[in-house]
Amino acid sequence: MPILAKLREFLDANKAAYSVHSHPTAYTAQEIAALSHVKGRALAKVVMVKAGADLAMVVLPADHKVDFSRLKTILGAKDVRLAQEGEFSGVFPGCEVGAMPPFGNLFNLLVYADRSLEKDEEIVFNAGTHTLTVKMTWRDYARLVKPKLEDFAIHL
C-alpha cells in the first residue's frame, strides 16, 4: 500500500482534519517549504538517527538542525549519528527515500519531536513522495503520534 493511502486511512480513522498538497519535485526541506509557501519552522522534517543499535525518528522544523550532543543526552545513548539510507530505506515501504512522513508510530519507530514545532498551530510534512505534502494541526499530529517532546534542535 502506498504510504499516502496508509496515512490517509490512519488520519481518517482517527478523525484528523488534514489536506494534501502537490508541488514540483523537491528534495530539501527548505525547497519544500518555499514551494509549499510555508515558513521553514512550520515544515516538519524527518531525520533518521542511529542511537547505538536502535533506529529513531526525530522531527524538527525545516529551518533547524539536530544538535547531536543534546540528542545523545536525551536518548541516553553512548553514540548517536545520522542513519545511512541503507539502514532505514526498507523500514518505510511505499515511501521515496527522504520523503517519509513524521509518523514513525506507523512503522514501529520511536518518534522524538523538537518542542519548537509546538509554536505553530499547523505543520506541513512530506507525504511519502518528493511532490506531496500534508498539512494538519500540530494538536492532531501530537495526539496521533504521541512524540516524545524534547529540545534538540538549533535554528540555522
Nearest CA-CA partner of 119 in 48, 47, 39: 39
Single-letter amino acid code for the residue at 3: I
Work out the percent of the chain whose per-residue pLDDT is above 70.
99
Predicted pLDDT at 1? 55
Predicted pLDDT at 89? 84
Predicted pLDDT at 102? 97
* Count of domains observed in the chain: 1
Nearest CA-CA partner of 79 in 114, 50, 39, 108: 50
Q: Which domain holds residue 108?
A: 3-155
Whether pLDDT at 92 is above 80: yes
> Which neighbouring-strand residues pair with 54?
51
For 3-29, what is each residue's pLDDT tens digit? 889 999 999 999 999 999 999 999 888
Whichever domain contains 109, its CATH number is: 3.90.960.10
Tell if the pTM clears 0.75, that is, is over it: yes
For 30-70, what is each residue's pLDDT tens digit? 888 888 888 888 899 999 999 999 999 999 999 999 999 99
pLDDT band at 147 (very low <50, low <70, confident <90, very high): very high
CA dihedral 44, 48, 50, 51 (to 10 degrees): 20
